[in-house]
Structure 1
């Protein structure tokens, strides 16, 4: 389900479910988290996917199961907390949890076919406050609002224009960029990454965090969430009622 290889001092973590467009399961999330930890001696890490997609999101056969959401967020935060630069090489669709994985990385290299989207409102799901804030910090509030409130996708050109993506290119370009980072002073890079995280993504104030977490949980416990699941099983458009 994943491959961990090395290019010099750069670890390359490849999602390997091409038949499922690298859709995330709880097991795959756990394996990614473990692989990130096992690459602790790397000077840089590149994330990519086999096949046509970077990551098509959560496997919809698992997204409603107990434990998937916890494994997803443990994995995302492990990627973000990696002490070395993490580069996502996005060569195709990065949808839902695929966009979350891409923004958990520090930097993104995109091919012309790259596409980002967070269409949770179409199926009655919700992403956590961390995802919304990080997406807005990277892509800007306008792009984040379009992606989250209107479920509009962002293609490679738009991602580069708004700052969601950092460079155009393919996997080789991402590897070359990461190799350059691997030559930099690791203590300086690790310190700088930590400061960027602490300054721009500090923990939310207690009351705000509590209220937002409650609203997030309410989405997952709602009738609309159940309707999204039922409509998929019945192969029909969902009818959401806001409760």
Structure 2
């Protein structure tokens, strides 16, 4: 997985199906996250090929769809549990599991072409509790209920208004944000990411979160930050 300036871009590349999720694409996302981290990425960008971000689960797989929702849940957990920030560059429609993918990222940059929809009530799918609570938290109570109960669409402008999206922009804007994040203290970022999973798909244990907190609190980067302040320069963090 190519890593440039400590960031990696993961592209959902199934544009003939508007990047709808099948087993292979879910596994590819997880593999690329792992490869990027092994290659030293300190921030990730998730985006879609073509004109869509992700059209959700591929509902046309028929018998081959068995186990797909487990694959999707594992992929959502992978993004949430990554020890580095994940920025969604939502370049177009994000439908169903596509909206869930955007929700699993830490920050969202949305194109004017983006919109969000979770049509669970239209296709008789039982959405898991983690996703329902995340929608309520990220979109706000009233808008989450409209999104889930009435299958209403949330536009890019509405996503910005309610705080679900950080700002309007394209892939380059998401990469610029990721580069800023990649300069931050890695161990502190890891600890914060672990804390954010407390109500996620696969929460870190209390012991793991405490271990990450201790590592950040006793890091060489903490010393580097103090030294940089005294020398009036930007700190150079090494994740040690």
* Deviation >3 Å, runs of 4+: 200-204
| Cα distance in structure 2, aligned partners of 1:132 and 1:84 | 24
| Cα distance in structure 1, aligned partners of 2:136 and 2:62 | 24
Residue of structure 1 in register with 2:15 after alignment? 18
Residue of structure 1 in register with 2:116 after alignment? 116
User: Is 1:182 the counterpart of 2:182 in the alignment?
Assistant: yes
Q: Any idea what the Cα deviations from partners look like across 1:189-243, whole Å, max 9, x if unmatched?
A: 1112222333x65999xxxxxxxxxxxxxxxxxxxxxxxxxxxxxxxxxxxxxxx
What is the CA-CA distance between 1:126 and the residue it aligns to?
Answer: 2.3
| Cα distance in structure 1, aligned partners of 2:195 and 2:76 | 19
| Cα distance in structure 1, aligned partners of 2:146 and 2:88 | 22
| Cα distance in structure 1, aligned partners of 2:109 and 2:48 | 13
What is the CA-CA distance between 1:127 and the residue it aligns to?
Answer: 1.8
Moved more, 188-197 or 25-34: 188-197
Residue of structure 2 in register with 1:208 after alignment? none
Q: Secondary structure at the match of 1:7?
A: coil
Asked if the contact 2:73–2:201 (Cα under 8 Å) also holds between the matched residues in 1, the reply is no
Residue of structure 1 in register with 2:234 after alignment? none
Residue of structure 2 in register with 1:225 after alignment? none
Residue of structure 2 in register with 1:142 after alignment? 142
What is the CA-CA distance between 1:63 and the residue it aligns to?
Answer: 6.9
Residue of structure 1 in register with 2:227 after alignment? none
Q: Any idea what the Cα deviations from partners look like across 1:121-161, whole Å, max 9, x if unmatched?
A: 11111221111111111111111101000000000000011
Q: Secondary structure at the match of 1:34?
A: helix
User: What runs of 5+ residues in structure 1 fail to find an aligned partner?
Assistant: 205-243
Residue of structure 2 in register with 1:53 after alignment? 52
Moved more, 188-197 or 120-129: 188-197
User: What runs of 5+ residues in structure 2 fail to find an aligned partner?
Assistant: 204-240
| Cα distance in structure 1, aligned partners of 2:62 and 2:18 | 15
Residue of structure 1 in register with 2:104 after alignment? 104
Superposed CA RMSD? 1.8
Residue of structure 1 in register with 2:172 after alignment? 172
| Cα distance in structure 2, aligned partners of 1:152 and 1:175 | 30
Calculate the TM-score normalised by the size of structure 1.
0.78
Moved more, 36-45 or 93-102: 36-45
